[in-house]
Amino acid sequence: MALIEVEDGATRQVPLAASTLIGRQANCTWVLNQPAIPLYWLEIRWTSPRWQYRVLANEALTRGPTRRLPGAADGWFTITAGNSIHGPGATVRMVDDRPPATFAVDLRTGSAVPASQLEDVLEENANGWWPTDAEVRDDLEGPLTEGQIVVVGAQLLRVHLAAAPEGTVGHRVDLQRPTCMLDVTADETEPLITVLERDAEIACSGPVSRILLPYAEALAADVPTGGWLDIDAAHAGWIARGGPASSGRLRISQERSRLCARLRSLGVANANGLFETRRDGSRWVTRLAVARSRLQWTDLDAAATL
């Protein structure tokens, strides 16, 4: 994740959105607490494969790197890790110049939501990013958009959806490829997901795999048609398959997000495309974003009861 260090009387590290505004104005991406800083001081923008910045006001008192790439617009300069921009009472230093990644800002605290908590408030699937409570609310028209402000639980968040495209070089399996198969085995003690492609396979087991069971069963049986489940049906199916009965409905989207993160960490490319969400009348529904012909469903729990 791209990071800058901001010094304005205090020092903090914060992530960079694809277009980051820095200044004293409350609607900047990051707000500085120095009266001498202009309302809008800097813009730092990702122009793949590098970062550039421009000074929006108070150029005479601002100093920073001055390398300009051929063809770059006037006023834009390249900034890389280790470079600093100094202004009246504040300094911005580039700490990490990797491409931008998705993050959220808690507008009540003015701080970024820690990566360890991001899966509790945001979920990415095949058709975009959603608040984890999307399926129980009726004020959404679709996936979140860059810079959108949304309430999730007790948090007022501004969301920056700047995830870099996921490269597939070096990945043994890729969920987007039509040759990729998904083998799901329901077992009360140890549910198992195996992603297979040609002569490669990646297995994922344990409690994190359990959330896939109601969705895989619905898609395999085509009940409801297309395998679409609302959050109540998914919640009931998850508990029936061994999910904690004390867990609320919002745990469903959080578990989906954790499963996708686990698959990514195991080396499955495009794991965030495992689910998709749509509006169905007055409710939101979600299903596995995998063709039925690419799904192998085995229900050992049902066989054990025969």
So what's the pLDDT on residue 304? Answer: 58
Can you tell me which residue has the tokens 């820095």?
22
User: If DSSP codes are grouped into helix, strand and coil, which group holds residue 103?
Assistant: strand
Tokens in use for 211?
Answer: 């959330």
Q: Does residue 99 contact residue 150 with C-beta atoms inside 8 Å?
A: no
So what's the pLDDT on residue 210? Answer: 96
| Count of beta carbons in the 10 Å neighbourhood of residue 197 | 18
So what's the pLDDT on residue 305? Answer: 55
pLDDT in tens, 69-98: 776 667 899 999 999 999 999 999 999 999
pLDDT in tens, 240-279: 999 999 999 999 999 999 999 999 989 999 999 999 999 9
Which residues touch 197 (CB under 8 Å, ≥6 apart)? 172, 173, 174, 177, 179, 180, 181
So what's the pLDDT on residue 117? Answer: 87
Tokens in use for 268?
Answer: 């499955």
pTM of the full predicted structure? 0.80
Sheet holding 155-160, edge to edge: 111-112, 103-106, 155-160, 149-152
So what's the pLDDT on residue 168? Answer: 39
Cβ-count burial 25-63 (b if 16+ within 10 Å, e if not): eeebbbbbebeebbebbbbbbbeeeebbbbbbebeeebe
So what's the pLDDT on residue 94? Answer: 97
So what's the pLDDT on residue 169? Answer: 43
The ranges of the chain with pLDDT < 70 are 71-73, 163-171, 303-306
Alpha-carbon distance of 84 to 65, in angstroms, equals 7
Q: What does the chain come to in residues?
A: 306
Alpha-carbon distance of 105 to 113, in angstroms, equals 6
Beta bridge partners of 99: none
Alpha-carbon distance of 42 to 55, in angstroms, equals 5
Cβ-count burial 214-250 (b if 16+ within 10 Å, e if not): bbbbbbbeeeeeebbbbbebbbebbbebbbeeeeebb
**Cβ contacts of 103-110, under 8 Å, gap ≥ 24:** 103/1, 103/15, 103/17, 103/160, 103/162, 104/157, 104/158, 104/159, 104/160, 105/29, 105/157, 105/158, 105/160, 106/155, 106/156, 106/157, 107/149, 107/156, 107/157, 107/158, 108/155, 108/156, 110/31
Per CATH, is 3-96 categorized as 1.10.10.60?
no
Can you tell me which residue has the tokens 């899966």?
119
So what's the pLDDT on residue 167? Answer: 45
Residue ranges per structural domain of the chain: 3-96, 103-160, 173-304
Give me the DSSP letters along 41-89.
Answer: -EEEEEETTEEEEEE-S-GGG-B------TTPPTT-EEE-TT-EEEETT
Alpha-carbon distance of 204 to 192, in angstroms, equals 6
